Amino acid sequence: MKMQAALWYGPEQIKIEEVEVPTIGPDEVLVKIGTALTCGTDFKLFRQGHALLVKDVPSPFGHELAGTISEVGSAVEHRFQVGDRVVAANSAPCDYCFFCDRQQFNLCENLEFLNGAYAEYIRIPAQIVRRNLYTIPDFLSFREAALTEPLACVLHCAERMALKADETLCIIGAGTCGLLFTQLAKLNGTRVIVLGRGEEKLNVAKELGADHIISIQQEGYQEEIKSLTNGYGPDKVIDVVGQPHTWELATELVRKGGQVWFYGGCPKETKVTLDTHRLHYGEISCHGVFHHTPHYFAKSLEMIAERQIKTKPLIGGEARLSDLNQIFQKGMAGNPLKIAVIP
């Protein structure tokens, strides 16, 4: 059987091609994609490839998905049946390596990333079937469910940050993850300053509860953030952009004794310059945080199903798989809201 799938051939080159529908092993599941969501990571991959995600060229891509099970391997547990509506994570830990032993599942040495959501069907590998595949309630749309993966990443970081109600958090970046951070922080009662680019997204941040929105393109934004925090700076700053200069900015904005969280991954082999004096005498602590774990994936789906998170404002439109090239070309200029891609 044949299907349509998007393949990445190199920087800014994707083609929609007819390929074989994947065949599944006894521990695997075949899912007919209902919706795939575009993600900042996909835009990065489109422009420059991706160290972890691209193994061979041409490479399938897309990793936020929900759909319907169309085939179940003979050895898969009974909880999955053909016709079930499901959401799958883009990875799952092995449960036996050094890091899994230490419960640091997101650092698992055998994380196998699932790519290929921009297609009609996708094969879900055994590890993900076992640990990170969930049926979704009937009332949840595919596009809502497909937000489980990005929210799981944000939830993982937000819980490690242990946000408190009497704190001020500055979020650098008003893309989807920045908007998800805004919502989680507001659920905790934390005061939120969103520093971003693009009026449209900043307004969405405001709509989702941000106490202050500030354009990074506006002169004097650093002073403005200072004045909003009694001259000290925010208690916590998170970078959601993933550029060396925004990482550096995060360490400059935070107050003495505050925490910086690096959520956005920078391009490979980049370095940052830090003010050692400020880090030491100001006791700035910096934390890297990456990806999600099965615990957060499950919790994320729960929160979406309970409608604790507003999903509608995060999705900017809908398109067909055949329009994918256009979407990515257009998205090059900024970091647009998500698009729901329907095969």
Residues lying near Zn ion in the complex (CB under 5 A):
39, 41, 93-94, 97, 100, 108, 110, 150
Q: Tell me if 284 sits within 8 A of 260, measured CB to CB.
A: yes
Nearer to Zn ion, 107 or 286 (CB): 107
Minimum CB separation from Zn ion for residue 40, in Å? 7
CA dist 317 and 235 (Å) reads 35
Q: Evaluate the omega torsion of the peptide bond into residue 58 and state whether it is cis, within 30 degrees of 0.
A: yes
Comparison of 110 and 222: residue with beta carbon closer to Zn ion: 110
For the CB of residue 298, give the shortest distance to Zn ion in the complex, in Å. 17
**Helix axes 221-228 and 244-253, enclosed angle (nearest 10):** 40
Using the minimum distance from each CB to Zn ion, give the nearer residue, 64 or 235: 64
As measured in angstroms, the least distance from the Cβ of 264 to Zn ion is 12
Q: How far is the CB of 64 from Zn ion (least distance, A)?
A: 5
CA 232 to CA 19: how far, in whole Å? 57
Cα–Cα dist 292/151, whole Å: 9
Nearer to Zn ion, 50 or 191 (CB): 50
Determine the distance from the C-alpha atom of residue 216 to the mean position of all C-alpha atoms in its chain, rounded to a whole number.
Answer: 22
Shortest Å distance, C-beta 63 to Zn ion = 6
Minimum Å gap between C-beta 269 and Zn ion is 22
Contacts of 35 by beta carbon, 8 Å cutoff, 6+ apart: 65, 66, 67, 141, 142, 143, 146, 340, 341, 342
| Shortest CB 278 distance to Zn ion, Å | 33
Closest to Zn ion by CB, 100 or 172: 100
240's CB contacts (< 8 A; 6+ apart) are 171, 172, 173, 175, 177, 178, 181, 263, 264
Q: Which pair of structure tokens corresponds to residue 51?
A: 């160290």
d(CA 107, CA 111): 8
Cβ distance to Zn ion smaller for residue 176 or 251: 176
C-alpha–C-alpha distance, residues 22 and 123, integer Å: 6
Q: How far is CA 148 from CA 118, 193, 259, 267, in A?
A: 17, 24, 26, 25
| CB closer to Zn ion out of 146 and 171 | 146
